[in-house]
Amino acid sequence: MTTQDSPQLLTIRDFLRFAVSQFNQAGLYFGHGSSNAYDEAAYLILKTLHLPLDQLEPFLDARLIDSECGQILDVIERRAKHKIPAAYLTHEAWLGDYSFYVDERVIIPRSFIAELLQTQLAPWITEPDDITAVLDLCTGSGCLAILMAHAFEYARLDAVDISVQALAVARKNVQDYELGERIDLVESDLFSALQGKRYDLIISNPPYVNAESMERLPQEYQHEPQNALASGEDGLDATRQILQQAARYLTDDGILVVEIGHNRAALEQAYPKLPFTWLETSAGGEFVFLLQRKQLPHS
């Protein structure tokens, strides 16, 4: 698509209307930040033009130069035609007030654990300053490790992922937040490279999409690394390994926090004797569980 194809598009208002129409016509799925075509179009246009993301109104009737028109049309086409998530187009994703670099080597950050870290996991952690050793399993872009570094200022953190490519993205984010002295990035298949280590807190947002759901995922999710999404027939393969091994890596009073998507019923059926505590999030209390070390299986 070129500016010659659309000579009537002159202002940001024109391109915003055009983008919303294109996105609605394409039947896009909004699950990586924005929740609707208008918000996503506004974000992509403002980001492409290097304008403040919270100031659309003053610029609506600004006329664009040809090069800007071409850039916006390219972004609209890539989003609408190829269904590339907006975060991959802008190389930016947000969790709360924190921005992270992302590309297609990592899944786009989205975790209810981020909400829980805003209160430093109270009331389960009563003395945040006493948390000195923390593990983020399946760190991906490193976003949760970085949030934990801000929540627990005296903690050293290990951020683990099986993907060397994901760790390269995490390294950029850790460096951007100047946390290289506190966060160690570790290539490991879950706990395999952590022998002998003990942590006050282990958190994980592991792969948890079951086989049936993987087959039905919107096209946007097909751009994400599949090994960061899929976790066996019932979505619990990674969670089973975490539950089986976590006690060995927790201090006596340590706690485990894991996000499992929509798998609460399947998990409780698989582990009827485990006293899961389900943490309340903005979407309800069925997505993140907490267990104390003494409650975990010991092997």
Cα distance between residue 173 and residue 116, in whole Å: 21
Its pTM surpasses 0.85? yes
Does residue 110 share a domain with residue 83? no
On whether both 73 and 113 belong to a single domain, the answer is: no
**31 shares its domain with 120:** no
Give the residue among 91, 155, 92 at the shortest CA–CA distance from 121: 155
Pair 45, 167 in one domain:
no
Per-residue pLDDT tens for 237-246? 999 999 999 9
Note whether 67 and 148 are same-domain residues. Answer: no
The neighbour count for residue 30, using CB atoms within 10 Å, is 16
Whether residue 217 is found in the same domain as residue 244: yes
C-alpha–C-alpha distance, residues 205 and 225, integer Å: 14
Q: Is residue 38 part of a domain?
A: yes
Q: Which of 43, 105, 50 lies closest to 76 in space, CA to CA?
A: 43
Q: Residues of the chain whose pLDDT is less than 50?
A: 2-3
98 belongs to a structural domain: no
φ, ψ of residue 255 to 5 degrees: the values are: -130, 155
Q: Using CA of residue 135, residue 137, residue 143, residue 147, what is the dihedral sign?
A: negative
Alpha helices (runs of H) in the chain, residue ranges in sequence order: 12-26, 37-48, 66-81, 86-90, 113-117, 143-151, 164-176, 211-216, 237-245, 264-270
Look at residues 107, 110, 204, 193 and name the one whose alpha carbon lies nearest to residue 148: 204
Residues 122-180 have pLDDT tens digits of 999 999 999 999 999 999 999 999 999 999 999 999 999 999 999 999 999 999 999 99
Residue 116 and residue 57 share a domain: no
Domain enclosing residue 283, as ranges: 104-295
